[in-house]
């Protein structure tokens, strides 16, 4: 009879130990989850702060350029330099950071965070909305886009679809919406809405933008393909133009295209819109990216959209 109470006591002790172990495991799991949530929240707020700081830095650079510089925008200005994967410590007022900012090599042991800011001229590309001319398409800009499509090897039928769907989207009537008309795009990637293939959208991405109104292309910042599409001249002539631009930015369209037939609504040497891409790396395998479109008039700036 004495064996039974002893066995019951042992079983009770084992059950109690198992219960205590289970409760301890549950408590440890909840504690670990709390730490993970706190870490994720801290990382999220840190990223938001860094994004806001990087965007403020961009606005300050563009505003300063608008105050100081002549009314000509080109690739030799401070805004075009941006920040190329810079350790955050290099931007802080510390002895090590000051040394790095002065030109010393970043510490190889620095795990980050790293900050990259790339500012580009949105008017260095062909503005998609230039195709619109009231309730019809601009014959002049259709020719420009047709040349770009031809240079990129894209089917001319897709340009026809693009123009048709862009007109339907710009109409914005209830009938168009009910019949399946797409929304107006905001970025080059949105051209998928207008019936272009992913391959075409990827090819057009570096050369087109979506900006409000009809805007000329900046002669001082546009690449060779865009300039060739606008000017309609052989590649060799475009290369000569680029060589002249490298030695000194053009101060006017007439200086660059002396005696040419290009009208002023196609080309300019000034820019009102800038695109910015901010990349933050907080670890070896964690990256956050944000893009924005900024409008500048003198030293007055306005953020038109942000995507992150």
The overall average pLDDT reported for the chain is 83
Q: How far apart are alpha carbons 114 and 100 in whole angstroms?
A: 13
Percent of the chain with pLDDT over 70: 75
Question: What confidence tens digit (pLDDT) does each residue in 281-306 have?
Answer: 877 677 889 999 999 988 889 999 99
Residue 198 has pLDDT above 90, yes or no: yes
- Quick check: 112 and 281 in contact, CB under 8 A? yes
Question: What confidence tens digit (pLDDT) does each residue in 165-193 have?
Answer: 999 998 864 454 455 667 889 999 999 98
Tokens 């990382």 map to which residue?
43
Give 113 or 203, the one with higher predicted confidence.
203
- How far from the centroid of its chain's Cα atoms is residue 247's Cα? 29
- Give the confidence band of 71 by pLDDT, cuts at 50, 70, 90: confident
Length of the chain, in residues: 308
Residue 10 has pLDDT above 70, yes or no: no
What local confidence, expressed as pLDDT, does residue 33 receive? 63
pLDDT (average), residues 267-290: 88
Structure tokens at 169: 């989207």
Q: How far apart are alpha carbons 264 and 285 in whole angstroms?
A: 48
Question: What confidence tens digit (pLDDT) does each residue in 44-54 have?
Answer: 677 788 888 88
pTM over 0.85: no
Give 289 or 12, the one with higher predicted confidence.
289
- Kindly give the residue spans of alpha helices, DSSP state H, lying in 189-302: 198-204, 224-231, 235-247, 253-256
- Residue 51 buriedness (CB in 10 A; 0-12 / 13-18 / 19+): buried
- Give the confidence band of 203 by pLDDT, cuts at 50, 70, 90: very high
- Quick check: 305 and 110 in contact, CB under 8 A? no
């Amino acid at each position: 009879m004495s064996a039974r109470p002893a066995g019951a006591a042992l079983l009770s002790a084992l059950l109690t130990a198992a219960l205590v172990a289970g409760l301890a495991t549950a408590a440890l799991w909840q504690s670990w989850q709390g730490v993970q949530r706190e870490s994720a929240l801290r990382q999220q707020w840190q990223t938001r702060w860094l994004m806001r700081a990087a965007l403020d830095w961009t606005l300050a650079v563009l505003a300063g350029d608008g105050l100081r510089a002549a009314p000509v925008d080109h690739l030799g200005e401070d805004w075009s330099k941006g920040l190329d994967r810079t350790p955050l410590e290099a931007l802080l007022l510390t002895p090590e950071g000051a040394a790095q900012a002065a030109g010393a090599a970043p510490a190889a042991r620095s795990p980050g965070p790293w900050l990259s800011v790339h500012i580009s001229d949105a008017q260095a590309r062909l503005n998609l909305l230039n195709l619109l001319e009231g309730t019809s398409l601009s014959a002049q800009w259709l020719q420009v886009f047709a040349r770009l499509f031809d240079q990129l090897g894209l089917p001319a039928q897709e340009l026809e679809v693009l123009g048709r769907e862009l007109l339907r989207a710009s109409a914005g009537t209830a009938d168009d919406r009910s019949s399946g008309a797409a929304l107006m795009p905001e970025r080059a990637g949105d051209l998928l809405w207008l019936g272009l293939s992913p391959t075409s959208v990827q090819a057009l991405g570096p050369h087109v933008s979506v900006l409000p109104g009809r805007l000329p292309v900046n002669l001082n910042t546009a690449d060779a393909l865009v300039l060739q599409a606008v000017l309609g001249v052989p590649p060799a002539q475009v290369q000569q133009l680029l060589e002249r631009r490298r030695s000194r930015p053009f101060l006017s369209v007439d200086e660059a295209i002396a005696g040419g037939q290009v009208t002023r609504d196609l080309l300019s040497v000034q820019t009102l819109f800038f695109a910015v891409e901010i990349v933050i790396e907080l670890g070896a395998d964690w990256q956050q990216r944000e893009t924005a479109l900024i409008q500048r008039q003198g030293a007055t700036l306005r953020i038109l959209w942000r995507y992150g």
